[in-house]
Chain A
Amino acid sequence: RQDLNFGQVVADILCEFLEVAIHLILYVREVYPSGIFQKRKKYNVPVQMSCHPELNQYIQDTLHCMKPLIEKNDAEKVVVVIMDKEHRPVERFVFEISQPTLLSIRCVHVDVCFCFCCCSSDSLLSHVEQLLRAFILKISVCDAVLNNNPPGCSFSVLVHTREAATRSMEKVQVIKDFPWIVADEQEVHMKEPRLIPLKTMTSDIVKVRKLLAAER
């Protein structure tokens, strides 16, 4: 248990959460036909997840490449962008991610070990599960506060990272044959977006600071 790598644990939890969140956003915002989604249970709530192999593989590859950045605390934001037929962003779901500082990582690491060794790991995991569930529930109902998107939309996942971290992304490219490029300005910025704060969450081991939806 002392060998437990805190960064990896956080990255695992966040990537699993982002996977569920991306599937749910694509379902709720009707980017794909509802027929490819199946009801599953995650974080003890029903969610809709795609059962289309090609789409699932794409989402998995995206998260696989992102994981090393999250592990090293190099991913500042993960943004799910919904684009219209002309590839202009019409909606963005912004996940601002921050991990505790190195010092607090160490402290929390001890806490985690303490929880695992002396208490029940169930209480810690159930706390994180509760927080992530709240995010998922917010996404499930976000269409109530968002306008309908035009037909024929697509999506993209953007990662805001520090310049120096781009090298590790290049490393992953070689392994996964899933190259990443710098996003075009027009894919990133929206003119006068309407910002809708959906949820903020903090816990000792995972921090997803803010979930924002922005629409044109």
Chain B
Amino acid sequence: TGSATHILKPLMSPPTRDEILCTLLDL
């Protein structure tokens, strides 16, 4: 019917805490 609820999310994940810490260290 088109009325059912879909729960969507982005396929890509946000940067992780560790990734962000690494970029901060690079700076």
Interface of A is mostly: mixed
Interchain CA distance A157-B13 in the complex, whole Å: 10
B9 pairs with A58, CB closer than 8 A: no
> Does A97 have its Cβ within 8 Å of any Cβ on chain B?
no
Number of A-B residue pairs at CB separation under 8 A: 96
CB pairs A–B below 8 angstroms (24 shown): A31-B17, A33-B17, A35-B24, A52-B20, A55-B20, A61-B10, A152-B18, A154-B13, A154-B16, A156-B9, A157-B9, A158-B7, A158-B9, A161-B6, A162-B3, A163-B3, A163-B4, A163-B5, A164-B3, A166-B8, A179-B10, A180-B9, A180-B10, A183-B7
Enumerate chain A interface residues (CB-CB to B < 8 A). Answer: 31-33, 35-36, 52, 54-55, 58-59, 61-62, 65, 76, 152-166, 169, 178-183, 187-188
A-B pairs, top 10 by smallest CB distance, nearest first, are A164-B2, A179-B11, A163-B4, A183-B9, A58-B14, A183-B7, A180-B8, A54-B15, A158-B9, A159-B8
